[in-house]
Structure 1
Amino acid sequence: LRSLRAVGAAPGTRLACRIRPTGPLTVFRVFRPDGKRSRAHASQGKEQRLAILFLDIRGFTARTTGQLPYDVVFLLNRFFDAIVPAISGTGGSVDKYLGDGLLAVFETGNETASARAALRAVAQIGAALERFNRMLTEEGAPRLRIGVGVHLGELVLGEIGAAGHAPRTIIGETVNAASRLEAMTKEVGVEVLISDAVLEAAGIETAPLDLVTLDLRGVRAQVRALALRRATGIDALLAVPA
């Protein structure tokens, strides 16, 4: 009865609550147990195969120790103002900011388009970082260093959180793998690690490339990745037709 009242049903309305399926079907909950309407069906979660990118500023905590909070926030916002257009300009979007880093996803149609958009973003991030560091040098401030991990795989996209406070976000093993790739850049001594899944989806032949094989914490299978000392090093690969 509460469910019927919640949708303004006329008195005497009855619910058909018994069916005999004759084939495959998909169901989803329309009402919560408290009688309130559930979130839109589209927000309940969907699975897509997309490229994602993790980025982190290297040594940021040590760099900003002892600085005024205002100065720390000001530097971070300047950095993101410089870097994020490289992501949005290639069709990506920031899923979330993570203190001195971010997670971006490339929802640009099929996985080939997503992979190539992520690779273009890497190149543009590299160029944007060089411009930003030149500005810091002119100001007499130390340059920033970053680590970037790029991976492609199945993701779950949906609104996650308490009702009314549930931003759309992504979860899944692909997210963990991208995060671990970014963390591994420090150990490998490079700026960027790009998984072979991204390269292959982008139509780039991996056989001639010198890929490294990595054991990533929390990831079931080994990941082969292209290691780039600088993000701008991806430019040569982007010249290869898709």
Structure 2
Amino acid sequence: MPRISYLSENKTIEATSTETILGASLRCGLAHTHECGGEARCSTCRVAIFDGLAHCSERNAKEQAMAERLHFGPEIRLACQTKIIGDVSLRRLVLDPDDALITDQRETGATPAIAGEEKTITIMFADVRGFTSFAEDLPAYDVVHSLNRIFHSMGPAITRHGGHIDNYIGDGLMALFDVRDASEAAAQAVRAGLEVLDAIRKLQPYFHDNYGKELRIGIGVHCGEVVVGSIGATTMKRTTAIGDAVNLASRIENANKLLGTSFLISEAVHDQVKDLFLTKQHENVILPGKAGVYTLHEVTGLRQAAVK
């Protein structure tokens, strides 16, 4: 009979050809979580197949629906639906009641949590320059109102070009562009950045007349592989991106202060969009917190042929 090796428990059991991985676990006395009773409605029986994926049955309709909903990679399987025809090694992913609460999908509503997947996306950071000193002389209401006015102008430029605002970070924001075509995502992010700068320029008279201040902003864009998943307490999850590419995008945005620029992109982004946008190269840039030196590109506008 085929065998199932549980890596966390350091235990191997045999499974019949007619029983699921969950059924084999329970028959052999393993406390395999299955909050919905094995009906493919909660995902708490999920396992990661480390070896022998080819020995697993194809996903049935119920498992496929859950996999699509949670963006499971092919190695993440529902134990309650998966049967095996050969040896497999796996790790259970839900090990205690808190894990079960976090992963139970029966009450998630219309917007499901993403369990976690690696993907290449384009990340934009935008930050209002000198806002702390700008806000020092303002009443609390005006501090909040002015930030909301800024973000109100920036938001449509980002969403219009296929991005979504992942997080507001004080007087800045992080936006993600993750369409399937990486070059398209990069181009969309750069177009959005130029439109954000234009929106800020249009806000200048408002801030000059009301606060006697000049509004300045810095934008940084980079693309790379990240982990995308839904993070947070059970009732307060949001989907975000985690990884070095996110950190690098933030550092690139911050480099605008050093270079006296407003919009910088990484070499990786430039390679994908250089035929669409006018840029100026900055070599040997040191990014605090990152080793080595970097070549960054200042975006100055659209190439004439790319103007729609």
Which position in structure 1 is the counterpart of 2:115? 44
Which consecutive residues of structure 2, in runs of 5 or more, have no partner in the other structure?
Answer: 1-25, 40-44, 57-74, 78-91, 106-111
Q: Please tell me whether the aligned partners of residues 119 and 238 of structure 1 are also in contact (alpha carbons under 8 angstroms).
A: no
Deviation track 1:51-76 (CA, whole Å, cap 9, x = no partner) reads 11101111100111132111100000
> Which of 207, 231, 234 matches 1:160?
231
Q: How many aligned positions are there? A: 230
Which position in structure 2 is the counterpart of 1:56? 127
Moved over 4 A (4+): 1-5, 21-25, 39-42
Offset of residue 173 of structure 1: 0.4
Q: Percent identity?
A: 32
Q: Output the aligned Cα RMSD.
A: 3.3
- Judging changes above 3 Å, is the alpha-carbon distance between structure 1 residues 238 and 157 closer, same or farther for their aligned structure 2 residues? farther
User: Following the alignment from structure 2 to structure 1, what is the Cα–Cα distance between the partners of residues 153 and 286?
Assistant: 32
Q: Matched residue of 1:130: which SS?
A: helix
User: Following the alignment from structure 1 to structure 2, what is the Cα–Cα distance between the partners of residues 198 and 178?
Assistant: 11
Q: Does 1:235 align with 2:302?
A: yes
| Bigger-Rg structure (1/2) | 2
> Which of 71, 74, 98 matches 2:142?
71
Provide TM-score, normalisation by structure 2: 0.65
Q: Matched residue of 2:162: which SS?
A: coil
Offset of residue 203 of structure 1: 5.3
Offset of residue 236 of structure 1: 2.8
Q: Does 1:148 align with 2:219?
A: yes
Provide TM-score, normalisation by structure 1: 0.81
Which position in structure 1 is the counterpart of 2:252? 181
1:1-242 correspondence runs (5 A)? 6-8=35-37, 22=52, 26-27=75-76, 29=92, 31-34=94-97, 36=100, 38-39=103-104, 43-139=114-210, 141-202=212-273, 204=275, 210-220=281-291, 222-228=293-299, 233-236=300-303, 239=306
Q: Please tell me whether the aligned partners of residues 204 and 237 of structure 1 are also in contact (alpha carbons under 8 angstroms).
A: no
- More strand per residue: 2
Which consecutive residues of structure 1, in runs of 5 or more, have no partner in the other structure?
Answer: none
- Judging changes above 3 Å, is the alpha-carbon distance between structure 1 residues 3 and 86 closer, same or farther for their aligned structure 2 residues? same
- Return the letter of the residue paired with 1:33: D
